[in-house]
Structure 1
Amino acid sequence: MWGLLTLILATALSAAVIRGMLRLAPHVGLIDHPGEHKQHVHSTPFVGGFGVLAALLLAVGMLLWLLPAQSLAWASLAVCALVMWGVGLADDRWKLSARIRLVIQAGLALLMVYGGGIVLVDLGDPLLIGALSLGIIAVPFTVFGVVGCINALNMVDGIDGLSGTVAAGTLALVALVTLGAGDGSGHLLAMALLGGVAGFLWFNLRFGSQHRARVFMGDNGSMMLGLLIAWQLIDITQGEQPLVPPVVALWMFAVPLIDTLAVMARRVWLGKSPFSPDRHHLHHLLQRAGFRVEHTVTIIGSLHLGLGLFGLLGAWLGVPDALMFAGFVGVFAVYLRFTARPWRFVPMLRRLHRSLHLTPALNCGVFFGNSSLEHVEQINALVAPELKDNTVFRTRLYEYRGDPEHAGRRYAVVQIVVDEDIAPLAYQSLYMRLLQRVMRPDRNAFVRGYVTRDPANERRAEHRTPHADERRGERRVGRCELLEESFTYVQNGRIVDEQVNQRAHPQGHNDAAAPRADLARELR
């Protein structure tokens, strides 16, 4: 009862605080501007941590009221969270050095140990040698684990909704464990933090008409959440009667931990600093393969939750710690094996993307082959009535030439001209349904999403001389000629202007869509 009430109150409080900070942020400089290695193109407030902090303080207040005998632990929890939040906010605002952040994180980990009584003293039996007690290295090991957890969550905070979704998955698992074990204080804290994250995700996830994040979590939120998650994971795995074996904590925090270790191992392998920035995290690789932000968050969040549930299932079934640890190491090894060579892993992910029939990222086109339609006007007449807004779209009709097997066949590419921030997914899905229905009588025709080839993800872009057989297999045998091209202006489903160019210059079918700026100049 208390847990559900806390979840509702924390969610509402977090959302209210973040909404208030949205108005205040521009006046106090709490804005994350594009630049450097950041992917976003809009200045966005980094005030998500304010909502999570409010939820945490609500939980601490309730715990002090319900369990005053543990007031030192709750006060230590509040101080750790406040200081970590403040350091993260300072880092967001003024960019602190990594050394300063690590020193403060280590100091807060020591406060957790000596003020909150949260310390790793027992690792279970992961090596089949009996219970592994840390003894005199318990405190240093705890500090190492806490600092690692803080930075692992911070490092996956790369796209809208990802860090919040991952954190919510771990907190939901902790809430499930504490509820089943009757740990009232742990359950209340987990539910409060889950509510704080839920309130943040309302402004950060892409869903419905919200096509980009309205707020970011910022280092103030991600580092504080990482510390609080470390607190709870240590709490449920230690003590005379731990709620779950220590090895299960690895599974409950699997994706950030595995991804961070794999990325750092790859950097060391390449002779770089393990803390140097790059774009080889799992979410980067998925996006390079064409997955949209929404799909990337869904995939990683589902994977994270699935691994956590697998770990809990193993604990509830009494699977030996050694076997659980070996399984986790095996998952890490497989992950490292694939991600260490992104030039091979990305094409695999792209094939998965195509097999799932998902809409490619930053793409608003539809490709349909073996077309029986003879003119772009026919295609435009099919597409235009489905567009309800003032829109411009470009249609190109090609024909195979020079290949006896495919000679005479035609295919078309329809590309809508929109700003990527208004998420053309709805438009492309509409195109797909429309053209699939229209082309259904023609059994030879096929319709799929169209994505521009990215040379950075192609193996042929490597600086090497391919084998003759490989070169022959990759060569495009058929030559294609652009027959017609049109730019069509639509208002509320009606074509108000249509510019058709007949028999343009021959081009290859891998001709990428013109850059947005060039296309805009053409339309003007």
Structure 2
Amino acid sequence: MLNYIFDILIKAGADVDALKLTYATAVPFVLSALLGWLFVPRVLLISRKKKLYDIPDARKVHKQPIPRLGGITFFPVLLMSFCLSIGIWMLMHLYGGFTQVYILIARFIMLAVGMMVLYLTGVADDLIGVSYKDKFVVQILCALLFPLSGLWIHDLSGLFWLHEIPAWIGMPLTVFLVVYITNAINLIDGVDGLASGLCSISLFTLGMAAAIKTQYLFCMISFSMLGVLLPFWFYNVFGNAEKGKKIFMGDTGSLTLGYLLSFLLVYMASLDKMGFPRGMLLMGFSTMIIPLMDIPRVMMARVREGRNPFTPDKNHIHHKLMRTGMKPFWTMVTLLVVTVFLIAFTVITVKLEVDKTLILVVDILLGVMLHLIIDHFIAKKEKQKK
């Protein structure tokens, strides 16, 4: 039936590549969005009935208990929409973009295993709590699945004037980056819509890059996750807490998102003849430059103060913006706009073949300038109080 419909469209003059591109982006996105709108309200209902709340404290922005199991929908919806999209795709015989299928299957199975382990770890943390040491060990074990499946960074594409690197450097680097990205998303989740908004921008950027390069399988998984983030983001940002319509993603969601994004970035940066431009590693990391830069700054500040670098505090970039007097909503909007600007700058300069190390240095300097501007307004705000 589906193949018959596709044949009719072709006979009507539809372009095959355009049909594939439309399918790979629209179908998984719509499926995930519909499933998200179906599941998120029900998770809210269960959370309220079972009193599964994130309780406010001195470090948190919200002032009343909020359900924190929104992220429990991410992995199941991703799996359902992705598998449905692939199943329909194969029934319609749209096999373009599925090169080296046995390798792809192995790597996506490894991804599913790692995501499931982190998903269950996140659920345990949201319900009963898991120490940061235990979470760290689990993240490392899940990260090891990437090089185990043959997926690791072989080439830095001229970054730091390096190109092809040996396995004994590339594999540990890959594990480090997976753990780093996963924690970056987890730690930036402190303001409504910020972590999900940043991940949505990243998923859209990476998904469109894959679509343009006809990497349809890659595109499907990006838009499958993007779709479920849409209803969650709506409830997270615009939901009314007093009416029980607001929800957080919790560690279940942030760990799942961080792991998937690290998989996509490493995949695009690896030498698999996937057709991605060699500057994709840098362009991919520009989509998450704000949370990635925030981790070392916050940890160094904690060490200088003689505290454990893994202890939580209110020194993240979103906390700093709010100390200037900015409301949480506009804090989220500001950081998303800055992210879009940094992505555009990085993509344009990579396309112009500017030295990649120089691009990275400029990106870092722009991030430092942002913090200096924020510090200026914090000092101004504190001076007005005196």
TM-score by length of structure 2 reads 0.83
CA distance in 1 between partners of 2:373 and 2:75 (Å): 37
Structure 1 position 96 matched with structure 2 position 21? no
- For 2:26, the equivalent position in structure 1 comes to 4
Alignment of 1:5-84 (within 5 A): 5-28=27-50, 30-35=52-57, 37-62=59-84, 65=87, 66=90, 69=102, 70-84=104-118
**Local SS of the residue matching 1:96:** coil
CA distance in 1 between partners of 2:243 and 2:322 (Å): 16
* 120, 123, 137: which one aligns with 2:156: 123
CA distance in 1 between partners of 2:174 and 2:48 (Å): 39
- For 1:215, the equivalent position in structure 2 comes to 247
**Local SS of the residue matching 2:276:** coil
CA distance in 1 between partners of 2:240 and 2:59 (Å): 28
- For 1:227, the equivalent position in structure 2 comes to 259
2:265–2:285 contact (8 Å) kept in structure 1:
no
- For 1:248, the equivalent position in structure 2 comes to 283
How many residues are paired up?
349
* 202, 205, 210: which one aligns with 2:234: 202
Q: 1:316 to 1:95 in 2, by over 3 A?
A: same
Deviates more, 1:223-232 or 1:106-115: 106-115
- 1:174 Cα deviation from its structure 2 partner: 0.7
Q: Residues 95-121 of structure 1, C-alpha deviation per residue, up to 9 Å, x if partnerless?
A: 111110000001111112223x43122
2:207–2:223 contact (8 Å) kept in structure 1:
yes
Which is richer in strand?
1
- 1:62 Cα deviation from its structure 2 partner: 3.8
CA distance in 1 between partners of 2:42 and 2:370 (Å): 41
Q: Residues 426-448 of structure 1, C-alpha deviation per residue, up to 9 Å, x if partnerless?
A: xxxxxxxxxxxxxxxxxxxxxxx
CA distance in 2 between partners of 1:193 and 1:305 (Å): 19
Aligned residue type for 1:197:
L
Q: Residues 229-281 of structure 1, C-alpha deviation per residue, up to 9 Å, x if partnerless?
A: 11111111222443351222331211111122222222233333322222121
Q: 1:271 to 1:124 in 2, by over 3 A?
A: farther
- 1:152 Cα deviation from its structure 2 partner: 0.6
CA-based RMSD: 2.5
Deviates more, 1:183-192 or 1:241-250: 241-250
CA distance in 2 between partners of 1:104 and 1:94 (Å): 16
CA distance in 2 between partners of 1:175 and 1:95 (Å): 33
2:290–2:367 contact (8 Å) kept in structure 1:
no
- 1:93 Cα deviation from its structure 2 partner: 1.2
CA distance in 2 between partners of 1:338 and 1:134 (Å): 40
Q: Residues 260-307 of structure 1, C-alpha deviation per residue, up to 9 Å, x if partnerless?
A: 222222223333332222212121122122211211111111111221
**Local SS of the residue matching 1:155:** helix
Alignment of 1:217-366 (within 5 A): 217-239=249-271, 240=273, 241-245=275-279, 246-335=281-370, 337=372, 342=375, 344-347=376-379
CA distance in 2 between partners of 1:242 and 1:271 (Å): 44
- For 1:141, the equivalent position in structure 2 comes to 173
1:63–1:185 contact (8 Å) kept in structure 2:
no
CA distance in 1 between partners of 2:143 and 2:368 (Å): 29
Q: Could you tell me which runs of 5 or more consecutive residues in structure 1 were left unpaired when the two chains were aligned.
A: 351-456, 462-524
Q: 1:264 to 1:331 in 2, by over 3 A?
A: farther
1:156–1:162 contact (8 Å) kept in structure 2:
yes
Q: Structure 1 stretches (4+) deviating beyond 4 angstroms?
A: 207-213, 335-339
- 1:43 Cα deviation from its structure 2 partner: 1.7
- For 1:522, the equivalent position in structure 2 comes to none
CA distance in 1 between partners of 2:48 and 2:240 (Å): 26
* Structure whose CA Rg is larger: 1
- For 1:193, the equivalent position in structure 2 comes to 225
1:7–1:195 contact (8 Å) kept in structure 2:
yes
Q: 1:59 to 1:317 in 2, by over 3 A?
A: farther
- 1:20 Cα deviation from its structure 2 partner: 1.3
Aligned residue type for 1:44:
I
Alignment of 1:478-493 (within 5 A): none
Q: 1:244 to 1:209 in 2, by over 3 A?
A: farther
CA distance in 2 between partners of 1:301 and 1:219 (Å): 21
Which is richer in helix?
2
2:153–2:174 contact (8 Å) kept in structure 1:
yes
**Local SS of the residue matching 2:144:** helix
- For 1:160, the equivalent position in structure 2 comes to 192
Q: Could you tell me which runs of 5 or more consecutive residues in structure 2 were left unpaired when the two chains were aligned.
A: 1-21, 91-97
Q: Residues 139-192 of structure 1, C-alpha deviation per residue, up to 9 Å, x if partnerless?
A: 211111111101111111111111111111111111121122111111111111
- 1:29 Cα deviation from its structure 2 partner: 5.0
2:82–2:220 contact (8 Å) kept in structure 1:
no
**Local SS of the residue matching 1:127:** helix
* 448, 458, 465: which one aligns with 2:383: 458
- Identity among equivalent pairs (%): 24
1:60–1:74 contact (8 Å) kept in structure 2:
no
1:251–1:310 contact (8 Å) kept in structure 2:
no
**Local SS of the residue matching 1:205:** helix
Deviates more, 1:311-320 or 1:158-167: 311-320
